[in-house]
Structure 1
């Protein structure tokens, strides 16, 4: 049995076009669990509809996937050779202006939610705008997420809002999918100071491979991704790092136009340019290549095991225990 086959392998962020073919590729890639986006710009009802559709998909592919509400569910999925699907949000837009909606979504199975997505909402500010910090309502949302056991994600959130959320949260929070600005300056990347600030307070960093944020852009390879993982390990330590690929498998340019929109008709926040996953990890099914690339980079097996999944499970266990 290879190291990849032995390990719990968790992807901290996948936002692919959900259908059976994605689940089949997860199986080919040996994924034990994944944080699967079911809401970005949708409101409460739109998000409930997305959750209904995801649950239908999971039920129709029950030999491949299962829903996860606990770390025990994830470990059971590993034993049965399935992928545990964690329902996650990339924006708190679905909470609208109701703190009570946080608990409702937890009951529906949501385990992770980002506070803001690129731009301003009622909770705080995204990374592409002047950052006014965590609002009063945002403090209430963080407190309620702590209470019910939903992980606070700050990947697309601005630095001031992130800092205030880290300080406000009584439980660890995460950047589920980010890259270090030490390798490439970009509004979505995090400085060494920001990475240390979250990790020093019990938080967590999932490293993404989204090519516009990698040093070599669309020319990036899996070795560039491993370089970024190694960089973050050197900044925050081997116990605070995991994988968060940001796979967008199955989507076309229309999807990127939709996710990068801004408030107001026809406004656009940013242009990603060419989006091409690193050579060697173009699809979810190629996930074993990542383990081999980390081995080739002489990262110790005990560290690879932590980064692939065990660190994620420890974090989720702490946050989900209520």
Structure 2
């Protein structure tokens, strides 16, 4: 049975069971096993404007970025985006309203056990995430974490330390001294933030962090850490991609590394293909272990919208990135001297990407148990471990 046929069978069965209320949770679990539907979890996307996208994505759960930003011009003229407390608090409350108003489709992800419940009820669990700890306005001594507590009460379960550039907690991937990318460590206040996140059983995300910050975070944390979305620097030598030692450390922590869909950080080939994506997954699994590699999107569920409007014409779509790319090249940030020619892998810039990755992994002769890990069970494991 194909993945699409399995999914249709699963949905049909669940709707029938829900309508007749013939089976309890155990019966539902057994019924799901019969349909052979693989667990699909995505490491990063967003709440769509059209909630029919949730069903179409086939996702059982995903990390849902609810960040709200202010545009900040750096002293060197480049642009960064700061997540502020007020903006992110308004955003997470809005997201909660959407989730709570649509209980037949969505459910709030509070702990790792919620994924099993979402599967049984044919819903999608969303685990709220913010990309950057700038929104946590702790005092300089790290003794008060009232903002972190307020976010946690609103359902925040994953916090990314930085976004591109460093802050008072951690070093960023694109920090620069005009000659080369800096490798800033986790700051003193960052160590206190890690302890506060561990105490609250929140998942720590080192996406966009400097390599040294990521390594320091692994050492500082008593729980597994993740990189929700990234790629391997050994394939694309760019500051936004992670060195082998970071991927290995994340795997050793029991954490997960999600490979995202931004093709200019996946391959230097002029025409990106789904095989390039599988090569990245394979690299992460080889370095960090098969329990480390996972899927991430970092675009809306449907895909990169401007590229979709251009029928995935990368030659046109890449133009929206070039001004930003050239500004970083001018600062000599690692890898930005190589001008990209694409932004998406056309086969994956679709709402049906999970099934396509599943099929591509099968074509690459990955056994079913490894496909289970990559497509969902690795994410499920770390969420169950940390979010208790």
Q: Could you say which TM-score interval applies, normalised by the shorter chain? A: 0.7 to 0.9
Q: What's the CA shift for 1:73?
A: 1.5
- The answer as to 2:162 corresponding to 1:105 is no
Unaligned 5+ runs, structure 2: 8-36, 70-81, 140-144, 176-181, 307-316, 326-330
Report the equivalent of 1:19.
Answer: 48
CA distance in 2, matches of 1:151, 1:219: 35
Report the equivalent of 1:264.
Answer: none
Partner of residue 304 from structure 1, selected from 371, 379, 386: 371
- The answer as to 2:8 corresponding to 1:8 is no
* TM-score between both structures, scaled by the size of structure 1: 0.87
Q: What's the CA shift for 1:197?
A: 2.1
Report the equivalent of 1:61.
Answer: 102
Report the equivalent of 2:75.
Answer: none
Report the equivalent of 1:193.
Answer: 245
Q: How does 1:35-54 map to 2 (within 5 A)?
A: 35-39=63-67, 41-54=82-95
Q: What's the CA shift for 1:186?
A: 0.8
CA distance in 1, matches of 2:293, 2:266: 17
RMSD (Å) for aligned C-alpha atoms: 2.5
Q: How does 1:56-135 map to 2 (within 5 A)?
A: 56-98=97-139, 99-129=145-175, 130-135=182-187
Contact 2:211 2:243 (8 Å CA) reproduced: no
Q: What's the CA shift for 1:275?
A: 5.7
> What is the CA deviation profile of residues 55-84 of structure 1, one whole-angstrom value per residue up to 9, with x for unaligned ones?
222234332222111122211111222211
CA distance in 2, matches of 1:20, 1:74: 23
Q: What's the CA shift for 1:273?
A: 5.5
Q: What's the CA shift for 1:250?
A: 6.2
Q: What's the CA shift for 1:103?
A: 2.1
Summarize the Cα distance change of 1:85–1:187 in structure 2 as closer, same or farther, 3 Å threshold. Answer: same
* TM-score between both structures, scaled by the size of structure 2: 0.73
Unaligned 5+ runs, structure 1: 262-266
> What is the CA deviation profile of residues 148-199 of structure 1, one whole-angstrom value per residue up to 9, with x for unaligned ones?
0111101100011111111100111011111111111111111222211222
Contact 1:218 1:277 (8 Å CA) reproduced: no
Report the equivalent of 1:30.
Answer: 58
Larger Rg: 2
Q: How does 1:133-152 map to 2 (within 5 A)?
A: 133-152=185-204
Summarize the Cα distance change of 1:217–1:34 in structure 2 as closer, same or farther, 3 Å threshold. Answer: farther
Summarize the Cα distance change of 1:236–1:107 in structure 2 as closer, same or farther, 3 Å threshold. Answer: same
Q: What's the CA shift for 1:24?
A: 2.1
Helix, strand or coil: the match of 1:219? coil
CA distance in 2, matches of 1:218, 1:247: 21
> What is the CA deviation profile of residues 279-299 of structure 1, one whole-angstrom value per residue up to 9, with x for unaligned ones?
211122332111111111111
Report the equivalent of 1:286.
Answer: 353
Contact 1:155 1:178 (8 Å CA) reproduced: yes
Summarize the Cα distance change of 1:274–1:90 in structure 2 as closer, same or farther, 3 Å threshold. Answer: farther
> What is the CA deviation profile of residues 201-244 of structure 1, one whole-angstrom value per residue up to 9, with x for unaligned ones?
32321111211201146731222111111121111211122111
CA distance in 1, matches of 2:194, 2:231: 24
> What is the CA deviation profile of residues 107-156 of structure 1, one whole-angstrom value per residue up to 9, with x for unaligned ones?
11111111111102110111011233111111111001001011110110
Figure out how many residues of one structure are paired with residues of the other and give that number: 308
Helix, strand or coil: the match of 1:71? coil
Report the equivalent of 1:207.
Answer: 259
